[in-house]
């Protein structure tokens, strides 16, 4: 009996050795590539965005940008360090609902993804990244501004865009620049924002620092992003008569606000968005020309001085018959950052990819900033917003000087 038991154990050891080891998380059996001794045909990446619901337009544009980035990588030979393994995009729909975002991360985990990008809204990003951290899935946030996303000590969360604090700081700096261009600086401001962590955090940060920058805040007015009526907000703006309306919204409520102000009795001397989901939305810029002329937005965008950025913009327009908006530009970049890490890791092991992400130093990208480098918290240290202005149905960068392709029109009303 002992001899038989010894023989069985010996055969098991030989069989295990012949199998070449244990398959790593995210690996896919096949013959095209090698991952530490494991053959890899396909590398799976998750993209989590609101593909349905009230934010579907933005989410679908971001998904399309991710598709374009994946297509480019596969056409260029796939993941070369994995023998040319192809990349497969697994699309997930958060519907803009935090709980759905969490369940979709869990599904992507079961699907065997080695990384995720997303999510557009901070309300989804916060729990989604927490779930990804639990499962140890590298998560590259393309758009999600809440400071807390990279303030929780997570090791698997990385963010490309500037956080809310940077957006607010950039606004204050750019507002001073604009006032330096005119003889009579604009001083009185009302803050209008959607009431989730996204809009509230930016407005509160601006209000906290306003006095130090010579700004008088007349009112801080939140509203639900899903609202169908902003008449009370517009009436209050009319009664306060501020020099400037500073606003953080999504597409629907931002459009409602601007159209209501356009029809009202009082026209502010400037309307400036901060991370505004309408003013930097390609559809709003191209189609809502009756209300959008000279609107400004302190927001992320592509670098208009970059040949690579303009090439990507043209490719996106050709493939999807629409312009590449700022949100989509960051989704495209998030895929490229994640792919760069996988290429350098030469592995589909999530821990290896996480380590490679911490060592990212990507200078060849389409954003208006220096190299993409993550700090110990996972935040892109060179991320910044620029000052955009809609001029004749085009979003133009008017500041900083290194990236501008137009001069600002300010103020827009006397």
**94-121: per-residue pLDDT in tens?**
999 999 999 999 999 999 999 999 999 9
**11-26: per-residue pLDDT in tens?**
443 333 344 333 344 4
The answer to whether residue 413 is domain-embedded is no
**242-281: per-residue pLDDT in tens?**
999 999 999 999 999 999 999 998 999 999 999 999 998 9
Does residue 184 share a domain with residue 129?
A: no
**Cα 282 from Cα 280, distance rounded (Å):** 6
The answer to whether residue 2 is domain-embedded is no
So what's the pLDDT on residue 282?
A: 87
The answer to whether residue 292 is domain-embedded is yes
Does residue 392 share a domain with residue 258?
A: yes
So what's the pLDDT on residue 38?
A: 53
Q: In the beta sheet, which residues pair with residue 86?
A: 42
The answer to whether residue 321 is domain-embedded is yes
**Cα 324 from Cα 378, distance rounded (Å):** 26
The answer to whether residue 81 is domain-embedded is yes
Does residue 244 share a domain with residue 391?
A: yes
Work out the average pLDDT over 119-125: 95
Does residue 393 share a domain with residue 279?
A: yes
Does residue 71 share a domain with residue 51?
A: yes
Does residue 102 share a domain with residue 50?
A: yes
**152-198: per-residue pLDDT in tens?**
999 999 999 999 999 999 999 999 999 999 999 999 999 999 999 99
The answer to whether residue 360 is domain-embedded is yes
CATH number, domain containing residue 333: 3.40.50.2300
Does residue 358 share a domain with residue 265?
A: no
Does residue 158 share a domain with residue 45?
A: yes
Please report which confidence band the pLDDT of residue 61 belongs to, taking 50, 70 and 90 as the band edges.
very high
Residues in Cβ contact with 109 at an 8 Å cutoff, skipping those fewer than 6 apart: 135, 137
Does residue 145 share a domain with residue 180?
A: no
The answer to whether residue 46 is domain-embedded is yes
pTM metric for this prediction: 0.86
The answer to whether residue 12 is domain-embedded is no
Does residue 265 share a domain with residue 175?
A: yes
Does residue 277 share a domain with residue 184?
A: yes
Q: For all residues of the chain together, what is the average pLDDT?
A: 91
**216-228: per-residue pLDDT in tens?**
999 999 999 999 9
Please report which confidence band the pLDDT of residue 40 belongs to, taking 50, 70 and 90 as the band edges.
confident
So what's the pLDDT on residue 340?
A: 98
The count of structural domains within the chain is 2
**302-338: per-residue pLDDT in tens?**
999 999 999 999 999 999 999 898 999 999 999 999 9
Residue 344's domain spans which residues?
33-162+305-383
């Amino acid at each position: 009996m002992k001899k038989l038991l010894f023989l069985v154990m010996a055969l098991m050891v030989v069989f295990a050795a012949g199998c070449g080891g244990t398959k790593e998380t995210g690996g896919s059996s096949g013959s095209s590539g090698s991952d530490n001794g494991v053959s890899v045909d396909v590398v799976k990446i998750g993209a989590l965005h609101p593909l349905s619901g009230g934010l579907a337009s933005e989410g679908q544009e971001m998904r399309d940008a991710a598709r374009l980035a994946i297509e480019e990588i596969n056409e260029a030979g796939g993941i070369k360090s994995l023998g040319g393994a192809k990349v497969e995009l697994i699309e997930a729909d958060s519907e803009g609902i935090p709980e759905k975002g969490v369940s979709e991360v869990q599904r992507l985990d079961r699907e065997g993804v080695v990384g995720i990008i997303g999510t557009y809204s901070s309300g989804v990003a916060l729990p989604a990244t927490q779930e990804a951290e639990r499962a140890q899935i590298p998560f590259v946030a393309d758009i999600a501004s809440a400071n807390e996303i990279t303030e929780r000590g997570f090791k698997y969360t990385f963010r490309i865009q500037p956080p809310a604090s940077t957006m607010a700081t950039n606004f204050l700096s750019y507002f001073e620049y604009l006032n330096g261009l005119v003889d009579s600086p604009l001083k009185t401001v009302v803050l209008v924002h959607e009431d989730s962590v996204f809009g509230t955090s930016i407005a509160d940060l601006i209000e906290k620092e306003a006095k130090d920058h010579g700004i008088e805040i007349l009112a801080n007015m939140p509203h639900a992003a899903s609202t169908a009526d902003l008449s009370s907000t517009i009436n209050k703006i009319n009664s306060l008569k501020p020099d400037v309306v500073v606003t953080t919204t999504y597409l629907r409520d931002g459009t409602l606000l601007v159209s209501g102000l356009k029809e009202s009795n009082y026209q502010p001397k400037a309307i400036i968005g901060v991370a505004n989901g309408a003013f930097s939305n390609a559809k709003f810029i191209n189609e809502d020309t009756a209300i959008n002329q000279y609107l400004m937005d302190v927001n992320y965008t592509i670098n208009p001085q970059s040949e690579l950025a303009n090439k990507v913009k043209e490719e996106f327009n050709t493939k999807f018959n629409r312009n590449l908006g700022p949100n989509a530009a960051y989704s495209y970049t998030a895929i490229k950052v994640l792919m760069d890490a996988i290429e350098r890791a030469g592995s589909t092991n999530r821990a290896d990819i996480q380590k490679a992400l911490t060592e990212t130093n990507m200078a060849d990208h389409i954003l208006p900033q220096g190299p993409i480098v993550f700090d110990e918290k996972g935040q892109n240290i060179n991320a910044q917003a620029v000052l955009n202005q809609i001029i004749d149905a085009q979003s133009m960068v008017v500041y900083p000087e290194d990236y501008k392709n137009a001069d600002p029109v300010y103020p827009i009303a006397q």
